[in-house]
A and B are shown apart, each in its own frame.
Chain A
Amino acid sequence: AQSVTQLGSHVSVSEGALVLLRCNYSSSVPPYLFWYVQYPNQGLQLLLKYTTGATLVKGINGFEAEFKKSETSFHLTKPSAHMSDAAEYFCAVSDSGTYKYIFGTGTRLKVLA
């Protein structure tokens, strides 16, 4: 069965600092991996996705993630945090054989002025 683990339910960074949100997955078949962001009182918005090909994936708002098969990881990074990045971030895994996402428990990012 597939699963996703997001380390750290809450992460705080200073404005301008590096953002690193961790995601590890478990999958017996090649995974499809996604990062979604949820702003307060809103639905989820796709930040980026990995299906096949290049392992470094660039997304919206300056975020990127690297698929590392050997480490079963798909960590989300952004070089310089902005106040507007404060939100909850969800990692999700799926694969070509199923039609559903398995979401992690989410990481709430706080950006300090």
Chain B
Amino acid sequence: DSGVTQTPKHLITATGQRVTLRCSPRSGDLSVYWYQQSLDQGLQFLIQYYNGEERAKGNILERFSAQQFPDLHSELNLSSLELGDSALYFCASSASGRVDEQFFGPGTRLTVL
């Protein structure tokens, strides 16, 4: 158990819908990272937050957005969902904003029908 929690574990929805994925980092960790894992794209970095502020952006679509709240939990919002958005979404956390060991949550499996 990494100490990072993600909810829900599974999510099934339809095209065009909007969903919110939630992540709670390890106690004391200030950085949260979001990744997408799909068969065709592999494991791709989406976005990082550090202590409430966006720190780095990767291959995140404009339909996707994220935020980190004062209690340091983070949410990833996916809207206007397409079939190709079906993937595993991982959250990871680390103690600082520097390159450091990242601790991964168990993931949320999103299926878009």
Chain A residues within CB distance 8 Å of chain B: 32, 34, 36, 41-46, 49, 51, 90, 94-96, 98-106
Q: Does B43 contact A (CB under 8 A)?
A: yes
> In the complex, how many angstroms separate the beta carbon of B31 from the nearest chain A beta carbon?
7
Chain B residues within CB distance 8 Å of chain A: 2, 4, 31, 33, 42-45, 48, 50, 55-56, 58, 90, 92, 97-99, 101-107
Known: A90-B43, A103-B43, A106-B42. A98 touches B56 (CB 8 A): yes
- A49–B105 alpha-carbon span in the complex (Å): 19
8 contacts between A and B (CB under 8 A): A43-B104, A44-B92, A46-B101, A46-B102, A46-B103, A49-B101, A98-B99, A99-B99
B residues near A43, Cβ cutoff 8 Å: 2, 4, 90, 92, 104-107
| Secondary structure class of chain B's binding surface, majority of residues | strand
- A105–B37 alpha-carbon span in the complex (Å): 10
A residues near B97, Cβ cutoff 8 Å: 99
> In the complex, how many angstroms separate the beta carbon of B8 from the nearest chain A beta carbon?
14
> Which among A34, A36, A99 is the interface contact of B31 at CB below 8 angstroms?
A99
B residues near A98, Cβ cutoff 8 Å: 56, 99
> In the complex, how many angstroms separate the beta carbon of B90 from the nearest chain A beta carbon?
6
With contacts A34-B101, A44-B104 known, what are 19 further pairs, Cβ within 8 A? A32-B99, A41-B106, A43-B2, A43-B90, A43-B104, A44-B90, A44-B92, A46-B101, A46-B102, A90-B43, A96-B98, A99-B55, A99-B56, A99-B97, A100-B48, A102-B45, A103-B44, A106-B42, A106-B43
Nearest 5 pairs of A and B residues by beta carbon: A43-B104, A103-B43, A44-B104, A99-B56, A100-B45
- A104–B42 alpha-carbon span in the complex (Å): 8
B residues near A41, Cβ cutoff 8 Å: 106
